[in-house]
Structure 1
Amino acid sequence: MNPYDMIRAHMMRTIPFATHTGVEITRITDGEAEAILPATPETQNHIATPHAGAVFTLGETASGAAMAGAIAPILLECRPVAAEASIKYLRLAKGQLTATGKTSIPGAEALSALKAEGRIQFDVNVSITDETGELVNEMTVAWHVKSG
């Protein structure tokens, strides 16, 4: 099993709220990740669109997976914390959602800073599309990562 698959499996086991909402991480690479939120009655709101809380959980999960992918070689030696997040609800979503997170800096830069300074802060930008492929949400999560 490659390190990214190991991170994905670990995150799916250790983030029970994301699992409870039905979020599934489908891909992790160096500084990028993808997660889905299936369309279910439990994740919908009163107008039959994805509930804002479930959408936020989807985006935050994708951001955490992208962050973890960026620092994969030393992830177990670090303490990452989501320090701030913002989300824009651009239009009503239809059906299953897909969130794609990308770190604002390359993984190599994050690793170098962590090794040199023992901490780093960076954003993960997340785009969320619905089953039609339309962009429905944009999210930014600021991650603070401390080594040791």
Structure 2
Amino acid sequence: MNNFYFALLSTLFAVVVVAASVIAKKLGSLRDPLQIWDGLNNIGLLPIRMRAWIFTTVVGFANPYSKSINYRITELRKGKACGVMRETKKISNPFRCVHAGALVTFGETVGGLAVFTLLGKKDRAILTNINAEYIKVSRGLLTASSVLQPLKDREINELVSEVLIKNAAFETVAKLTLTWRVDLKDK
């Protein structure tokens, strides 16, 4: 009987992975991450953790480098993105803390999603500068958040966002300042 349940769970898992891959390929890129996020949240039968995993998998297909770290997006709203990342051996440095590169990848992914929620379908944004300030040794469960105000001036060429990464004790371990070149075409 245990083999039956294992086979059933394995099949279900495979179906979910294939579905996430199909969704990502149909979208091509993450032009409207809120549409995907809201669509997943409207599926009532999926557990919340499964929705976050599917969304993060879709983000990984659109941005393959982000798959190099193990993170989950936990909240996405207009101008706001939050995510969590647990320290693992894969992303640790020789000093038994999270590697600076993993922190930057995590922060850039969360900050990018916050920026993309503010853009229209024809708008473009490209990261031109990252400034990372490492404040404290990062260990354990980390939370990243980025909050931006809605774009009121459609004539801007540059957008600066900030990402705070905190540990389980709510101490800031890193602060990233991301500078984006934006091309706003949607009016």
- The normalised TM-score by structure 1 is 0.82
The answer on whether the counterparts of 1:125 and 1:138 sit within 8 Å (CA) in structure 2 is yes
* Structure 1 position 25, deviation (Å): 2.0
- What amino acid sits opposite 1:22 in the alignment? N
2:69 matched to which residue of 1?
21
Structure with larger RCO (C-alpha < 8 A, sep 6+): 1
After superposition, residues 1-148 of structure 1 pair within 5 angstroms as: 3=35, 5=37, 9=55, 10-71=58-119, 74=120, 76-103=121-148, 106-109=149-152, 112-113=153-154, 117=155, 120-148=157-185
SS of the counterpart of 2:157? strand
Q: How many residues get paired?
A: 137
Question: C-alpha separation between the residues in 2 aligned to 1:108 and 1:141?
Answer: 16
Identity %: 23
SS of the counterpart of 1:70? coil
Structure 1 portions without partners, runs of 5+? none
* Structure 1 position 138, deviation (Å): 0.7
Question: C-alpha separation between the residues in 2 aligned to 1:13 and 1:20?
Answer: 12
**Deviation string, structure 1 residues 65-123 (Cα, Å, up to 9, x no partner):** 1101122xx1x3122101111010001112021110122xx2241xx50xxx4x53111
Q: Runs (4+) of structure 1 moved beyond 4 Å? A: none
Structure 2 portions without partners, runs of 5+? 1-33, 40-51
Higher share in strand: 1
